[in-house]
Structure 1
Amino acid sequence: MEVQNTHKNAVSELGFSSIPGVYSNDEVDAIIQLITKTDTTRDTFRKSKELFAIRQFLKEIPNINELVFNENLQNIIRNYFGEDYFVVKSIYFDKPETSNWYVAYHQDLTISVDQKIEINDFGPWTVKQNQFAVQPPLSILENIFTVRIHLDDTDENNGALKVIEKSHAKGIYRPETIDWNTETEAICSVPKGGIMIMKPLLLHGSNRTTNHKKRRVIHIEFSNITLPEGLNWSERIN
């Protein structure tokens, strides 16, 4: 219980925490195998030399759910956040060994919804792969938490997330205004089979790889909020 509270407090205070050993090597390999067998020609799949990404991941590969939501992850969600949280977004990222993407510091400020409705404090709106996305009020963003499942060992040499500690508690925080005299940067190394829990308002980015190793991550966002005025989470899974 003490270890559990340590991670929960870290997410609350720092904006993130990493937990190793949530998946066995066999479980990770089974997830990768199922992804590899999937038809990648649909609109929600993006594939190039630099990146392979699957939006609406849990919907596009429904058989993956049983593997992803193993007993360990279910217990973590239940014990850390409560019984009433549900999935609101899922993405799979595969940055191959040859990819050398650099991701600048940013916050995750949009949610995926089923339609465009003009509602006060919701906006701006965008559309990607026939998916509506909108920036909601701050209270909704503050309620969300993200679980990043690492299918490879990830450290500072192959694009592990770098974050600004406690930045999730500062509202909308523009990267160009970061005061490096007062902020603390951390590198979030996560072993294969481990997870990182983070708040989407946490400023985060990643450096280019220097060791040319793969970094495959499943990104799942959770909330327990019902959206207003007939707006619905487009990817909701209970």
Structure 2
Amino acid sequence: MSERHALSEEQKTFYSENGFLIDLEPVFTPEEISALNVGLGELVKLLEPGEKHMAIREWHMSSKWLYDVCTHPRILDYVEGILGPNFFMWGSQFFAKAPASKDTVAWHQDAYYWPLHPHNSVTVWLAFTDVDEENGAMKVIPRSHKAGLIKHRTITGDSVLALELEHGTFNESEQRSLVMKAGQLSLHDDAIVHGSPANTSNRWRNGLTIRYSGNDVKCDLSRSPNFKAYQVRGTDGFKHNPQGEIPTETFARLSPDYHISSTDEIKK
């Protein structure tokens, strides 16, 4: 798999109109994704007792293995089709649901949490396992990114997030499940409404989210003082954000103090 993974004009138009993109050619072969899962296992070994995969958050700042995954040329080719030739990577987190896990992700918008302006960011959701409706695939509300930011409210229950969108602010009947095979990825806009249900299967559902932004995007460092931008394509003509240093250790955990987004995003 050495060929360039460029988006077609039709795919770019679909993303612009709907706020997400799926059904892309896989970026990793079954053999490569098997090796990636071995690497994920090495990161999991670094978790403290009681921590879940979600604690592997921004570890691209400490683990060269994960940094290399987040900056893989095949992934960056797809992102370039959305953000253009100049962009940086700044965030990563694993979202995993164990077999029969009751964990859900409430309907929300990423941009509601992130101290970034303007809204010009895209998330890659890279499937480390097959992902389907039975094991809790992510769902999106097409075209909801065009409504701007919507008010969120505090919630309790099985959602791993502390906030969710208020009821009646979007049409849930329009939801679409992002079903993928291991090695595939989806792309979604930072303002699209999305979430995911519990895993009712006897299989794991594992995925890596990676966040990228155009170089016009600036982080409010008063809210995220540890924010670091990694220029992964093109050049940075804006110089808005502090630059990150590429890690040297293959597998190393990062202090929770380095989380990028709001501290009340994830339930502790």
Tell me which interval the TM-score lies in, with the shorter structure as reference length. Answer: 0.7 to 0.9
The 3-state SS of whatever aligns with 2:230 is coil
Which amino acid counterpart does residue 122 of structure 2 have in structure 1? F
The separation in 2 between residues aligned to 1:180 and 1:169, in whole angstroms, is 11
The separation in 2 between residues aligned to 1:90 and 1:181, in whole angstroms, is 29
Structure 1 segments unaligned to the other structure (5+ residues): 112-134
**Which residue, out of 81, 84, 100, partners 1:82?**
84
Structure 2 segments unaligned to the other structure (5+ residues): 152-164, 232-268
User: Is residue 162–residue 187 contact of structure 1 (8 Å, CA) maintained in 2?
Assistant: yes
The alpha carbon displacement at 1:173 in A equals 2.0
| Superimposed CA distance per residue, residues 87-122 of structure 1 (whole angstroms, 9 cap, x where no aligned partner) | 1211112222242212221111223xxxxxxxxxxx
Q: Is the alpha carbon distance of 1:176 and 1:74 closer, same or farther for their aligned partners in structure 2, counting shifts above 3 Å?
A: closer
Aligned length: 208
The alpha carbon displacement at 1:179 in A equals 5.6
The equivalent residue for 1:227 is 218
**Structure 1 or 2: more strand by fraction:** 1
The alpha carbon displacement at 1:202 in A equals 0.6
Aligned-residue CA RMSD (Å): 2.8
Q: TM-score scaled by structure 1? A: 0.76
| Superimposed CA distance per residue, residues 58-105 of structure 1 (whole angstroms, 9 cap, x where no aligned partner) | 123222333443332132223332221111211112222242212221
The equivalent residue for 1:117 is none
The equivalent residue for 1:66 is 68
User: Is residue 53–residue 93 contact of structure 1 (8 Å, CA) maintained in 2?
Assistant: no
Which amino acid counterpart does residue 71 of structure 2 have in structure 1? F
Q: TM-score scaled by structure 2? A: 0.68
**Which residue, out of 114, 139, 157, partners 2:134?**
157
The equivalent residue for 1:110 is 113
The equivalent residue for 1:125 is none
Q: 5 Å matches for 1:1-238? A: 4-18=8-22, 19-38=24-43, 39-41=45-47, 47-48=51-52, 52-108=54-110, 109-111=112-114, 135-136=115-116, 139-140=117-118, 142-174=119-151, 175-178=165-168, 184-224=174-214, 225-227=216-218, 234-238=227-231
Bigger mean CA offset, 208-217 vs 64-73? 64-73
| Superimposed CA distance per residue, residues 107-158 of structure 1 (whole angstroms, 9 cap, x where no aligned partner) | 11223xxxxxxxxxxxxxxxxxxxxxxx44xx52x21111111111111111
| Superimposed CA distance per residue, residues 193-229 of structure 1 (whole angstroms, 9 cap, x where no aligned partner) | 1111001211111111222211111111111235278
Q: Is the alpha carbon distance of 1:166 and 1:235 closer, same or farther for their aligned partners in structure 2, counting shifts above 3 Å?
A: same
Which amino acid counterpart does residue 229 of structure 2 have in structure 1? R
User: Is residue 150–residue 169 contact of structure 2 (8 Å, CA) maintained in 1?
Assistant: no
The separation in 2 between residues aligned to 1:186 and 1:104, in whole angstroms, is 15
The 3-state SS of whatever aligns with 1:219 is strand
The separation in 2 between residues aligned to 1:226 and 1:154, in whole angstroms, is 31
Q: Is the alpha carbon distance of 1:64 and 1:183 closer, same or farther for their aligned partners in structure 2, counting shifts above 3 Å?
A: same
Identity percentage of aligned residues: 23
The separation in 2 between residues aligned to 1:100 and 1:151, in whole angstroms, is 20
The 3-state SS of whatever aligns with 1:40 is coil
